[in-house]
Amino acid sequence: MKLNNTLLFVLALLAVLLGTWSLIGKRDEIVYVDTAKLFQEYSEAVKVNQKLGEEAKKYEGNIDTLMQEIQGALKDYEKSGTKLDASGRAKQERLITEKQADLQRYQSVVKEKLEKQRQQEFSGVVNTINGFLKEYGKRKGYRMILIANPSGTIAYAKDGTDITEDIIKELNAKK
């Protein structure tokens, strides 16, 4: 009977030690990724930003042309405004107002178009990142990967919990 109790005690102690060891040895961490840095350094995100910047420059030329037309019409109005009769002044004022409205409509359409294009282009990048983070988290045994953004969603994190550099390296290596 004493042997059974001793054996039972040793088995129970062994089970407790194995359980504790598995908990200590298990990498069950919470880590985070800095999205601002990720989107600045992940090559696919950089390419999308460059492409969108080039698109925006195309439209800036058109906006500059429209603004120059408005400035030219304003100068004409200032020069000849005093020489014109009331209907002539009203006509020039209407022309300036129409040009300004055209510019505002164009800027609005361009802004909307660029925002839609940005969402479309970045949705692929975001999907790639999210899929990679899931695979990476499973592979590394993380309990959770948090996303830190510039608005400050993580107030404090212990050194070593920022895995952004590793994520960027692995994502950029996958081409």
In the prediction, which pLDDT does 13 show?
Answer: 47
The SS3 call for residue 147 is strand
Highest averaged pLDDT of the listed ranges 20-29, 63-72, 107-116: 107-116
In the prediction, which pLDDT does 14 show?
Answer: 52
Q: Which residue has the higher pLDDT, 80 or 25?
A: 80
Distance CA 132, CA 142 (A): 13
pLDDT per position as a tens digit, 123-143: 999 999 999 999 999 999 999
Question: What's the pLDDT band for 18 if we cut at 50, 70, 90?
Answer: low
pLDDT per position as a tens digit, 31-78: 999 999 999 999 999 999 999 999 899 888 888 888 998 898 888 888
Distance CA 160, CA 162 (A): 6
148, with CB counted inside 10 A (0-12, 13-18, 19+), is buried
Contact 106, 63 (CB under 8 A): yes
Q: At what angle do helices 86-140 and 43-80 cross, to 10 degrees?
A: 170
Least confident of 24-38, 117-131, 144-158: 24-38
- Taking alpha carbons only, the member of 5, 137, 117, 139 closest to residue 147 is 137
The SS3 call for residue 27 is coil
- Within the chain, residue ranges assigned H as helices are 2-25, 35-41, 43-80, 86-140, 164-173
pLDDT per position as a tens digit, 76-107: 888 886 777 888 888 888 988 998 998 899 99
What sign results for the dihedral spanned by CA atoms 13, 19, 25, 30? negative
In the prediction, which pLDDT does 175 show?
Answer: 66
Check: pTM over 0.75? Answer yes or no.
no
Question: In angstroms, how far is the first alpha carbon of the chain from the final one?
Answer: 67
